[in-house]
Amino acid sequence: MCFLCLLYKTVNVYPVVVAANRDEFYDRPGTGPRQVREGIFAGIDPRAGGTWLAVNSGGAVAAVTNLHSPRPPIPDARSRGLLCLDAMEAYQRLQSAGRGRAVGVRAAADLDSIVRHLLDQARYNEFNLLLADAGGAAAATWSGGRLHLRNLDRGIHIIGNTLPDRRDEPKVLRAHEFIGLATRIDQAIDLLKAACKDHGLRDDRADAICIHGGKAGTLSSVVAAFHASDRRRNVYLYADGHPCTAPYRDLSGLL
């Protein structure tokens, strides 16, 4: 995934609202969203078995983006998509252990514990990993052999292939032109869908969010929102293909 936006506690009664475009080689299509582990819903990359975005009906989101790096990739690294699934599963283990929502006021500390454990088990190429729910949100960046954690405050957070919320990234700047502090869920969804469909204004298309490359591009898009107290009002929209042409289907019944 190369575009991820979190509206955190900015939309009335929907503390977690996310939008994500998965950018990948065209010969690596993923499956549509489904239950992939107990209580976890995600699309799956058939080649490696991981995901770019995982959610659960309790309003938790885990998402990963590749991090551009001058360092050469590790050829035998484990899939970062599997890391994303494992992080969500670890969240649910903490939740079932009686701590309530694992991602709460200790969001960064919980994510630090989860990711460090996973990094001890396998090697991964560099990444950004988001974990969020109504109690808290945090982002982890693995770069140069170091793990950087930070809590995400109330507001708009955008993650691409560089550090989270990096304002000198054209795609991040372009997304902020679309996404304001919407307070109604219908307005927020419309803005996020418009951003995910955008082809940018720059000649080099560095600010494009919906990518149409020769060998790679945007393969799918998700817009999801989680109600503070009523799961029946959760929203999960999925576009299978370029969101500028593929319609968003309502898969909210999954949650």
- What's the pTM? 0.94
CA atoms within 13 A on the CB side of 94: 19
Sorted by where each begins, the domain ranges of the chain are: 3-254
Model confidence band, residue 182 (pLDDT cutoffs 50, 70, 90) = confident
Between 108 and 44, the more confident residue is 44
pLDDT confidence of residue 55: 95
Fold classified for 3-254: Penicillin V Acylase; Chain A (3.60.60)
Task: Find where tokens 């252990």 sit.
Answer: 97
What would the pLDDT profile of 147-172 be if each residue is shown by its tens digit? 999 999 999 999 999 999 998 889 99
pLDDT confidence of residue 180: 81
Nearest to 128 by CA among 3, 226, 255: 3
30 in Cβ contact with 156 (< 8 Å):
no
DSSP 141-188: EEETTEEEEEE--SEEEEE-SSSTT-TTSHHHHHHHHH-----SHHHH
Mean pLDDT over residues 103-117, rounded? Answer: 78
Residue 8 has phi, psi (to 5 degrees) of -105, 110
118 in Cβ contact with 89 (< 8 Å):
no
Mean pLDDT over residues 31-45, rounded? Answer: 94
pLDDT confidence of residue 104: 52
**Tokens (6 digits) for 248:** 């968003």
Model confidence band, residue 98 (pLDDT cutoffs 50, 70, 90) = low
